[in-house]
A and B are shown apart, each in its own frame.
Chain A
Amino acid sequence: MGLTSGLARLARRAPVPVFPVVGAGGRRAATVLPTLDGIEVVTTPRAAVVLLVVGRVTRALLAPVLALHDQLPGPRAAVQWRVDGGGDGDGDDLAGVLPGLVAAPPGDGEQLRRLMGELVSGARTSSPPALPPVEPAAWRGVGPYGQGGTGMTGGVPYGRPMPGWADDRDGLKLDQLKLRLGPAFPPFPPGLVLDLEVQGDVLQTAAVGDNPFVSWPGDPPVTVTDSVEFAAARTEAVAVADLELARARHHLVWLAGALRHHGLAARGERVLRLASGLTIGDAAAVQALARSVVRSRSLAWATDGVGVMSGDGLPAGPVARAAGDVRDARVADDAYRDLGFEPVTDAGGDARARLRQRVTEVVQALELAERCGDRRREPGGAVEGPRGTLAAGEGESTPSAALLERLPDLLAGQEWGDAVTTVVSLDLDLEEAALGAGAPVGT
């Protein structure tokens, strides 16, 4: 077959389209993905050749991962990046359900390219479907009382139903779609499941689905992967410079994700490269970046007035500070006493304010890291994490959990694009939210 082999030779030079699914413990390892050479992160599995699972697949993530695997058109392969400390456990029998699963060390882009080369040339067969070929709502014909029309009409037993209608605020009653946006929806934080009722382009109700990272008895415990330094600072002594650098890096990674959501994927990649090797000497580059982001008129236009949250009832953190709430655990901290630290606040509490807030905090964190030298912070007391204040004791509510509780009220009535922008601007982490949750209800 001259044509296909010629095409295969050409296709091998294309970037590998990868659809990432981040599991437990995988968030930090997954941030390197957009910067890998020859890899392209795509927003839909239909465009992907490789399904990349980063981290451990928990119980609740198994079915969605298999569903996503099947949504990749052929030729396809599934790769899992095992993260240190992931270990065996609950849902890690992914290899049992996906026979062709390739285990790989995180960050190995070369292997992904090799895999795609084998797939397109036919040297490796495409991974077979993981789920049984069962139709979700099989057509069973006309019912005993004559109900159930032909084709698409009729109730559930007689084929897939049409959407029902619901009231709306402008007096019209039109059809309402009930859908579940699953744990791997690209703009959302990994693991966020939203049960939505959408009429037109407005979310009428939004409910947060079960957190897939809540650990069941006997499972490995939940750890917060992308702010480990801050969780560790509660019990160990850390250098203040390291803490502030970690904060700056965290906010830059968030900024890269936010830029990608707003259509500026290339700029987001540049920010990721800056974040990956961040040192105190990058202060000038970071300041230039901060200036360009804050001054971007198009970004301001896209986020102004979106997802306004007033300061009351918010957990202390960047989200509250962007609404004018001055609380910051570093104010009362001995380690920051003589550094002249003053919390940065912003006004407005909308997505634009949160963007400005985090960008300003990056610049401030680098300044603090430079000024504090070798100073160390003793353990004990509340730690100001990048998402908010982490309370001293275990089992207290984390900032992400508190924000997740407010999400349904915040999203109801918003237009779709604004709702997604709001979720992105809150910088949620489902693993952090699962920390204080314990065993799920109804085990």
Chain B
Amino acid sequence: MSWSAPLPALALVGAVLTAGAGALAMLDHLVGARTAGRPVRLLAALGQPVARSALLLLTRRATTPRTDAAAWALAPAVLVGMAAAAVAAVPWDRGVAVADVDDGIVLVGAAFAVVMVGVYLHGWAANSPLPLHGGYRFVALALSYEMPLALVLIAAALPAESLSIGAIVESQAGTWNVVRQPLGLPLYLVAGAGLAFWGPLNVPDAGDLGGGTAAEVSGPARLAWAGAQGAVLTAVAVVGAGVFLGGWHGPLLPGAAWTALKALALLALLAGARHRLARVRLERFVVLAWTVLIPLALVDVFVSGALAL
């Protein structure tokens, strides 16, 4: 049973993405404050995302000469749209999903692939050297993490004999995929961090490019871009919770609460990774992805396959 009434579906996906982006900002602020030795004030951290959003809304949106205005406007929209598609495919409780299509894994994979186009366009459209460079760098990163991402998702689909995420969650009734496919979640998190260009894999918006694709973005457009990044990371966490951490399975609490908690745990993990790991050298990461991560993902696929038989 999937929700065909539009309003509850929009409300659910909108709430998930907004809450996820906000939670990410709060977690990032808290971990950052603790790492930096600043006093950690929980209440102040809760208000941070709202305050920063308000400031960005009150700032003017600057532009550069001769931009590709349509592409620049659509870039964050594409990211949020694709994040929404990925979140729509994940069930929140038994039978409760916005769009639990029969090939949810393909939908998620396709949505995550289009994110690359969105980030690239954000860099290209500004007609400025630093964002342009950031966009092209991201394409190299995306081509490298795409394969491990798709392969571990397929490996998770093998025991379920189906590409639907609902079926994958149901197949984890006994053991979660993180236990019987130990290589899956770490590889997925690395690829997911790359997808949302977060932390150590923040190549398009890197500091050595003066902010990269976000160097020419100000005001509400900057808010939209930051929100888009948060939305993509939330989608990564939600899909990861469903595919690897057993989704809505869990005692006592309702299924939706378990999914939310698991997604929040993944978000916290990723937020923490940002302040512990230095940004990668792109070339090194590309070589690592092709020579280490893809073979590991293949091992994951075939071992899971052998076990599923």
Q: Which residues of A contact B (CB under 8 A)?
A: 4, 7-8, 10-15, 17, 37, 42-44, 46-47, 49, 71, 73-75, 120, 152, 160, 177, 179, 185-187, 198, 200-201, 259-267, 269-270, 273-274, 296, 298-299, 301-302, 306, 415-418, 420-421
Stretch from B83-91, B101-109, B203-211, B296-304 at the A interface: B203-211
Measured CB to CB, the nearest residue on chain A to B288 is: A301
Point out the residues of chain B lying under 8 angstroms from A177, CB to CB.
129
The main secondary structure of chain B at its interface with chain A is: helix
Which of chain B's residues 183-225 have a Cβ closer than 8 Å to chain A? 199-200, 202, 206-211, 214-219, 222
Which of chain B's residues 201-255 have a Cβ closer than 8 Å to chain A? 202, 206-211, 214-219, 222
Contact partner of B284 (CB less than 8 A), chosen from A120, A263, A267, A301, is A301
Are A74 and B207 touching (Cβ within 8 A)?
A: no
A120 and B55 contact, Cβ closer than 8 Å, known pairs A47-B211, A47-B218, A185-B210: yes
B280 at the interface (CB under 8 A from A): yes
Q: How far is the CB of A68 from chain B (nearest CB, A)?
A: 11
Measured CB to CB, the nearest residue on chain A to B203 is: A417
Are B275 and A302 touching (Cβ within 8 A)?
A: no
Point out the residues of chain B lying under 8 angstroms from A296, CB to CB.
278
B7 at the interface (CB under 8 A from A): no
Are B37 and A263 touching (Cβ within 8 A)?
A: no
A49 and B61 contact, Cβ closer than 8 Å, known pairs A44-B211, A152-B66, A201-B137: no
Point out the residues of chain A lying under 8 angstroms from B275, CB to CB.
264, 266-267
Which of chain B's residues 126-147 have a Cβ closer than 8 Å to chain A? 129, 133, 136-137
Q: How far is the CB of A294 from chain B (nearest CB, A)?
A: 13
Give the A-B contact count at a CB cut-off of 8 A: 150
Interface string of B47-65 (1 = CB under 8 A from A): 1101110110111111001
Contact partner of B215 (CB less than 8 A), chosen from A4, A37, A44, is A44
Point out the residues of chain B lying under 8 angstroms from A4, CB to CB.
58
Point out the residues of chain B lying under 8 angstroms from A421, CB to CB.
208
Identify 5 residue pairs between A and B in the complex whose beta-carbon atoms are under 8 Å apart, listed by A's number. Answer: A44-B211, A44-B216, A120-B58, A200-B136, A416-B209
Q: How far is the CA of A120 from the CA of B56 in the complex (A)?
A: 10
Q: How far is the CA of A13 from the CA of B49 in the complex (A)?
A: 10
Measured CB to CB, the nearest residue on chain B to A269 is: B36
Q: How far is the CB of B21 from chain A (nearest CB, A)?
A: 16
Are A301 and B58 touching (Cβ within 8 A)?
A: no
Point out the residues of chain A lying under 8 angstroms from B274, CB to CB.
263
Are A11 and B219 touching (Cβ within 8 A)?
A: no
A7 and B54 contact, Cβ closer than 8 Å, known pairs A43-B210, A46-B215, A416-B133: yes
Contact partner of A73 (CB less than 8 A), chosen from B33, B37, B61, is B61
Q: How far is the CA of A250 from the CA of B284 in the complex (A)?
A: 31
B161 at the interface (CB under 8 A from A): no
Which A-B residue pairs are the 8 nearest by beta carbons? Answer: A263-B279, A10-B54, A269-B36, A14-B51, A266-B35, A11-B55, A46-B218, A44-B211
Q: How far is the CA of A418 from the CA of B209 in the complex (A)?
A: 12
Point out the residues of chain B lying under 8 angstroms from A263, CB to CB.
199-200, 202, 206-207, 274, 277-279
Point out the residues of chain A lying under 8 angstroms from B58, CB to CB.
4, 7-8, 11, 75, 120
Interface string of B267-300 (1 = CB under 8 A from A): 0000000111111111110000000000000000
Interface string of B39-81 (1 = CB under 8 A from A): 0000010011011101101111110011000000000000000
Measured CB to CB, the nearest residue on chain B to A196 is: B129
- Residue from A43, A71, A75, A200 whose CB has the most chain B CB atoms within 10 Å: A43
Point out the residues of chain A lying under 8 angstroms from B211, CB to CB.
42-44, 46-47
- Residue from A12, A260, A302, A415 whose CB has the most chain B CB atoms within 10 Å: A302
Are B222 and A201 touching (Cβ within 8 A)?
A: no
Q: How far is the CA of A110 from the CA of B48 in the complex (A)?
A: 18
Contact partner of B59 (CB less than 8 A), chosen from A43, A71, A73, A265, is A73
A44 and B280 contact, Cβ closer than 8 Å, known pairs A177-B129, A263-B199: no
Point out the residues of chain A lying under 8 angstroms from B305, CB to CB.
none
Are A261 and B35 touching (Cβ within 8 A)?
A: no
Are B278 and A298 touching (Cβ within 8 A)?
A: yes
Q: How far is the CA of A36 from the CA of B129 in the complex (A)?
A: 32
Q: How far is the CA of A277 from the CA of B36 in the complex (A)?
A: 15
Are B206 and A269 touching (Cβ within 8 A)?
A: no
Q: How far is the CB of A4 from chain B (nearest CB, A)?
A: 7
Contact partner of A13 (CB less than 8 A), chosen from B51, B209, B276, is B51
B159 at the interface (CB under 8 A from A): no
Are B222 and A261 touching (Cβ within 8 A)?
A: no
Q: How far is the CB of B227 from chain A (nearest CB, A)?
A: 15
Measured CB to CB, the nearest residue on chain A to B33 is: A266
Q: How far is the CA of A4 from the CA of B54 in the complex (A)?
A: 9
B32 at the interface (CB under 8 A from A): yes
Q: How far is the CA of A274 from the CA of B37 in the complex (A)?
A: 9
A302 and B280 contact, Cβ closer than 8 Å, known pairs A11-B58, A47-B218, A75-B59: yes
- Residue from B208, B217, B275 whose CB has the most chain A CB atoms within 10 Å: B208
Are B36 and A160 touching (Cβ within 8 A)?
A: no
Q: How far is the CA of A11 from the CA of B220 in the complex (A)?
A: 13
Q: How far is the CA of A302 from the CA of B50 in the complex (A)?
A: 34
Are B200 and A49 touching (Cβ within 8 A)?
A: no
A266 and B36 contact, Cβ closer than 8 Å, known pairs A10-B54, A47-B211, A301-B281: yes
A301 and B280 contact, Cβ closer than 8 Å, known pairs A14-B54, A160-B66: yes
A416 and B208 contact, Cβ closer than 8 Å, known pairs A14-B52, A49-B55, A152-B66: yes
Are B36 and A7 touching (Cβ within 8 A)?
A: no
Measured CB to CB, the nearest residue on chain A to B215 is: A44
